[in-house]
Structure formats: C-alpha cells, structure tokens
Structure 1
C-alpha cells in the first residue's frame, strides 16, 4: 500500500479536472477551507506542496518549517490558481522522485519519509480540493485506489474497509459523517513511517 509520487500526480489531476469546471466563477466569493475562501485555499494548497518540497531539500537540523512562503499574484484568475497548484504538485513530485530513499524530514505529525510526504501531499490536494469544490458547486472524482493507499498510510488507525475509499478519506479528515462512527474532530495524519515505533 505504498503511496508514490505517481499517486500525488493522479490526485492533483483529479482535483484540477474537477475545479476547472468552475474556472469561470469568482473564487474569492466562494467558501474554501475554514475561514478561507476558495481563492485563498488554492493559494494555501500551492504553498503547502512547495513547502513540503522545501523541507525534503533543506532538511532543517531543528524541528521547523523552511522560512519562506509561496503566494499567488493577487490578480491571479482561477485558471492561473490551477496552474499554481499544478506547479506546486510538480515541484513536490519531482523532489520525491529524486530524493534518496532513506531521506527523512521534519513535520509536526512525525519525522516523515518519502512515502509520508507523498501521502501528505495527496491529503492536502484532495481535502483542500474538496473544500473548494463544495464552495464552487462542483464534484471531484479522485481515483479510489489512490484514496485507499493514502488512507492506509496516513490514517492507519482508521478501519473503513466497508466504505468507499474517497468517502472514508473525507470522514478521516472530518469532511463528512459516517453512520455509527464518531466524528473525527481533531484528526491528525501520521507523517512518520508506519514501522517507526517512536512516533505516535
């Protein structure tokens, strides 16, 4: 159930394909993640993906993020925001493909390996993409095999084999409810490798 850079690429392709349906709308007027509108959520997503690449390249010796922020031009149109998140995905994906297999880098969810960063990128893309899609009134249709691998790697405590993997991933990140199952408020993925006994 390894999560790969190819999974990240596939996840982002599904997000961009879905959001492109709303490229003619005003993203600054549509809800996104939390208090952010769809425009700011897209900007946040691009920054997240590029910052993960930065962590893998810089590998700070102290537990911190690399000290930069990637932002979109204030005049960026939705189509240009889709370019921004696609570029962010490409930078992270290329970094994952060229990093040494044993590379580990800081993340608050655990000192993450290549697979962990690929999984985090997938969750960022799919979950923030879903937030934007809901606000913009469009539907995402991500590859279910990717969702299954991401769920198994990033949320090993989740037992949802009887649920559609996309629905299960949305539940794991507190974006939907599942009958008979508790809310996932306060959820956190696992960045550290699954065989790392020192991680949570």
Structure 2
C-alpha cells in the first residue's frame, strides 16, 4: 500500500508548478480560475495558505483551532514569485507530514475535528490538484495529474464516494467540477477525515478504503502489528468494507477500526460494524484480537468504547453481537460491557430477519 505521505505532496506541487509555469507571462489577477469565484492569483495564494496552515497544524500539534498565524505576500509579487511560494509551502507540508508520528493528530474541522499525517497529506494534495485544474482552465492550459494521486485522495479523504472507472474524473465529479455518467451533479461537498475513538489504553482508528484494500490483499494496512500481522477476522472485515465502498454504500463512521495500543503504537486487533443502522436503529458489532493481545482486557475496552459511541447517536438504539456457543471468552467480554443474552424469540427473529446463522448466540445492548 502506498500510504499518503509528503512524497505525494511534493509530486502534486511539482505537477502544479510545471503546468502553471507555462503561463507566467499572463496577468493572473485578470483571469478567473475555472468555476471558482477567485482569480488565478488569489487561487494560487489560497493553495499556498492551505499548505502552510496544514503544515503548521500538524507540526504544532494544534488541538482546537488553526495555529493563529497567516501568510502575506510581499507587495508586487507576480506569478513567478507565487510559484516559488507554492514550491516552498509544499515543501514545508511535505516535511511536516514526514516528520509526524503515525498516531499524531491535529485540528481540522471536517468532520471529526482532527486529522492525522495521512489526512493532512491528502488534504494538501487535494487542494493542489483541484485548484491547479481550476487555474489551468482559466489560463487555457492542459492539466491532468497522475491517476495514482487522484486515487490516493479518493481512498483517503473521500471514503463516502463510490469509485468510478477512473479516479481523476471521479474526483472532479465529487467536488462539483465535472460530470460522471449515471450520477447526479454535485453542488455541495466536503472531504471526510477518518474517525478515531479514544479508549483507556487503545485508540480505535478508523480504516480508510486504501488501508482496507491493503489488509484484504494480505498487507499490514499501514499499521505495525503485534505479532507481525492482523488476525484473519480483521482481514475479512476489511474485505467487507471494501465491497461496501466499491458499491457506494460505505458510511465511514460505521466502518472498521484498528485497535492501536497507546504505549507502543502497535495494532492489536480490529473492531467494527457489520453495516449501518437499520430502520429500527439496530447495528451489529464484531471484533477480534491478535493472539498475543488476548486475555489483557483489550477487547472489553474497545467494545465498551465503540458501543458507547454508537448508542450516543440518534440513529442507533440497539447494538447487537453474535457469538459461537463455544466462545466463552467472548461471551464474558460482552457481559462485562453490559450486553445480555437475547431470548429465544429474539434469536429466532434475528435468524429470520437478519440472516443470523444457526449455532450463534445473540447478545443485545440497549444502553
């Protein structure tokens, strides 16, 4: 898996500068940047401001707001100087992203008020790709970025967008800049950083589609695993998540989470939802741990955190889990978190209405 890093920021900025340098003799203040409201000079400045702000937030570990500084160009700075500013701010973001630790997070408002180093890299690349497209339109230049960059942006911060035949046209459509056959026009959009849920000794780190793809194919998903690899249940859950993403029904807040241990940053298991809440507000949870992490209370801790998060939502009223009859340790985990064994009628209804396999026991938590 090619995780988002400063390398992609550098690649995106290089493509931007190479493209726009062909128009340095034009007056960028007199040309509107595609469909946005700014002229090309203001648009390029906006990109540079974003790159610098992202670098400042991740490097400065901003928690509740952007780091309180702003960038100002020297009077008379022309397009050539502005390209130098783009190169510089891109280099600063690339360096800040590459210097950040895997678990570092900093403030960004969309949608959970934080992003990690991959998120900041992806947001920076998105700003560069999309606004280079806008400026190139206004300046009469041809521009098509590397397909791998567009795909990395989509699978990092657009997990709610069903992939199309090609990544770049899909990204343009998803941001209201183009059409895609069979899909309605997009008028309002935002990207979507991954959700993290803190627990006592763990962080439940939401999987991005890119990481889920890698896990499904036998990779590590960008995580360092206790014992060297995830348990098979985590790979299976990642595979189901990828299928949902490719079908356009994945909701990132009801996806799969990797359990990352705070003391050393090692992943010790996975937990997640089997789908979105149904019409009655019922959602199912599953979980597993790598063998070396069992018997230490991690499953209880993770299940308690995710169950509490789910039941705090307006669209969830019941959380359920199914367990094989011989899996006594898992039943104990569920009991410690407050789940109770369903009655015979509930289990029969679960088999008929939700396809629960025979031989499984149903446990229920209603808050």
Q: When the two structures are superposed, what TM-score results if normalisation uses the length of structure 2?
A: 0.51
Q: Give the whole-Å Cα distance in 2 for the aligned partners of 1:160 and 1:59.
A: 32
The answer to whether 1:151 aligns with 2:157 is no
Alignment partner, residue 90 of structure 2: 89
The answer to whether 1:132 aligns with 2:135 is yes
Between 1 and 2, higher relative CO (CA 8 Å, sep ≥ 6) is seen in 1
Alignment partner, residue 24 of structure 1: 25
The answer to whether 1:123 aligns with 2:126 is yes
1:180 CA drift (Å): 1.6
Alignment partner, residue 176 of structure 1: 178
Provide structure 1 residue ranges, at least 5 long, that are not aligned to the other structure.
Answer: none
Alignment partner, residue 3 of structure 1: 4
Structure 1 residues 108-117 or 175-184, which shifts more? 175-184
Structure 1 residues 64-73 or 91-100, which shifts more? 64-73
What are the superposed Cα offsets for residues 90-138 of structure 1, whole Å, 9 maximum, x if unpaired? Answer: 0000001111221001101131011000000000111111111111110
Higher Cα Rg, which structure: 2
Query: Is 1:120–1:154's contact at 8 Å kept on the other side of the alignment?
Result: yes
Q: Give the whole-Å Cα distance in 1 for the aligned partners of 2:164 and 2:18.
A: 27
Cα 1:9/1:188, change in 2 over 3 Å: same
Query: Is 1:18–1:141's contact at 8 Å kept on the other side of the alignment?
Result: no
Q: Give the whole-Å Cα distance in 1 for the aligned partners of 2:4 and 2:32.
A: 30
Alignment of 1:26-175 (within 5 A): 26-32=27-33, 34-61=36-63, 63-109=64-110, 110=112, 111-162=114-165, 164-175=166-177
Q: Give the whole-Å Cα distance in 2 for the aligned partners of 1:160 and 1:50.
A: 30
Q: Give the whole-Å Cα distance in 2 for the aligned partners of 1:166 and 1:21.
A: 22
Q: Give the whole-Å Cα distance in 1 for the aligned partners of 2:143 and 2:75.
A: 26
Q: Give the whole-Å Cα distance in 2 for the aligned partners of 1:180 and 1:74.
A: 47
1:159 CA drift (Å): 1.5
Query: Is 1:117–1:191's contact at 8 Å kept on the other side of the alignment?
Result: no
Q: What RMSD, in angstroms, separates the aligned Cα atoms of the two structures?
A: 1.6
> What is the count of residue pairs matched by the alignment?
196
1:60 CA drift (Å): 2.9
Bigger strand share: 2
Q: Give the whole-Å Cα distance in 1 for the aligned partners of 2:74 and 2:32.
A: 19
Bigger helix share: 1
What are the superposed Cα offsets for residues 156-191 of structure 1, whole Å, 9 maximum, x if unpaired? Answer: 1212331x2111111111111112201222111112
